[in-house]
Structure 1
Amino acid sequence: MRERQAFQDARRAREFEAFVAGAAGRLLHAATLLTAERPADNPRARALLTAALAHTYAAWDRLRGEDPYDRTRQQLALRFARGAWRHHRGHGGVLARLSPQERLILVLRMYEGVAEEQTAALLGLPAERVAAICARAIATALHPPRGPAPTGALSGAAPS
């Protein structure tokens, strides 16, 4: 009986390790986009991914045909959404100008390719709201607001 359990535990660990080897890079990139950290300095993204992977591993035997990548991505999104108030401003990442909700929807829709209806169901929002937030996030990401006007010689000040 113990040998059988040890064999099952080893098989489970190998399957999970293979899943992580194939999916962790993409999931870490998604988490990094969510937290708006720089890829080389992303401790919040790594913690978010670790928690999501731990949840997936704990439920590994109960997945029964469910896609582990989808399950982990859902956990990543839900954990980010629950703790988003702590991650309001990014830390120099490419999506730092976006709100946490805009980052979450943009990453799910555009980076991960999750359908609008699935994103809406996951976040408990109407699909129309998801579409509007996604459009606003894309516009902000592609056309960030301009900063203040430059000072000095270009602003009409006399050279010294």
Structure 2
Amino acid sequence: MTGYVDFEAFVVARRGALLRTAYLLTGDHDDAEDLVQTTLIKVVPRWSRLGDRPEPYVRKVLARESVNRWRRRRWRETSTQEVPDVPQHEGPDTADRLALLEDLRRLSPRQRAVLVLRYFDDLSEADTAAALGISVGTVKSHTRDALAHLRSQQSDEKPSTATT
């Protein structure tokens, strides 16, 4: 019974961080909640075997479940040109955050997962590779390609300042 107490303590302590990561992976608050819930449901049967450091395993399940959810749902989703229901009363950086989120949505799920785990969760290349079940070289190439894509999106959006 003590294993479940440890699980509850972990969830209370790390739920916010898991939700933030899930939000960056999914781009939607409701989907992030669902992703964390599904992840925790999959983790709880194995909890007693995870030892003192369960978080790497939980993040691995979270990242993989995100990719799996995208694969299952992609045929049902439709793309739009505009972000619906843009918040009106947030701080001055709202437009920048929405633009970054939209750019992240344009990446493949695996590229997005690599960037979120590497730069938001501050995992090493090896830890990111272990979490996603891919090689370190694949992490490097996904990072390179995703950052190049994000840079090209930024350069496409900025108006030209050159004068003739």
TM value normalised by structure 1: 0.69
RMSD: 2.9
Query: Of residues 135, 139, 142 in structure 2, which corresponds to 1:130?
Result: 139
Query: Of residues 57, 67, 75 in structure 2, which corresponds to 1:71?
Result: 57
* Cross-structure match for 1:55: 42
Q: 1:71 to 1:127 in 2, by over 3 A?
A: closer
Listed one character per residue, the Cα deviations across residues 83-135 of structure 1 (whole Å, up to 9, x for unaligned) are 22335869956122322111111011111222212323443433223112112
* 8 Å CA contact retained: 2:63, 2:113: yes
Report how many residues are paired: 135
* Cross-structure match for 1:158: none
Q: In structure 1, how many angstroms separate the alpha carbons of the residues matched to 2:133 and 2:51?
A: 25
1:64 alignment partner, SS class:
coil
* Cross-structure match for 1:152: none
Q: 1:143 to 1:108 in 2, by over 3 A?
A: same
Q: In structure 2, how many angstroms separate the alpha carbons of the residues matched to 1:61 and 1:101?
A: 29
* Counterpart residue type for residue 57 of structure 1: V
Q: In structure 1, how many angstroms separate the alpha carbons of the residues matched to 2:110 and 2:132?
A: 10
* Cross-structure match for 1:16: 7
Q: 1:119 to 1:17 in 2, by over 3 A?
A: same
Which structure 2 residues correspond to residues 24-103 of structure 1 after superposition, within 5 A?
A: 24-37=15-28, 42-65=29-52, 67-85=53-71, 86=73, 94=101, 95-103=104-112
Q: 1:73 to 1:125 in 2, by over 3 A?
A: closer
Which structure 2 residues correspond to residues 112-127 of structure 1 after superposition, within 5 A?
A: 112-127=121-136
Q: In structure 2, how many angstroms separate the alpha carbons of the residues matched to 1:123 and 1:71?
A: 10
* 8 Å CA contact retained: 2:60, 2:130: no
Unaligned runs of 5+ in 2: 84-97, 160-164
Q: In structure 2, how many angstroms separate the alpha carbons of the residues matched to 1:143 and 1:59?
A: 42
Among all aligned residue pairs of Structure 1 and Structure 2, give the percentage whose two residues are the same amino acid. 31
Q: 1:122 to 1:68 in 2, by over 3 A?
A: closer
Q: In structure 2, how many angstroms separate the alpha carbons of the residues matched to 1:33 and 1:46?
A: 12
1:144 alignment partner, SS class:
helix
* Counterpart residue type for residue 27 of structure 1: L
TM value normalised by structure 2: 0.68
Q: 1:61 to 1:128 in 2, by over 3 A?
A: closer
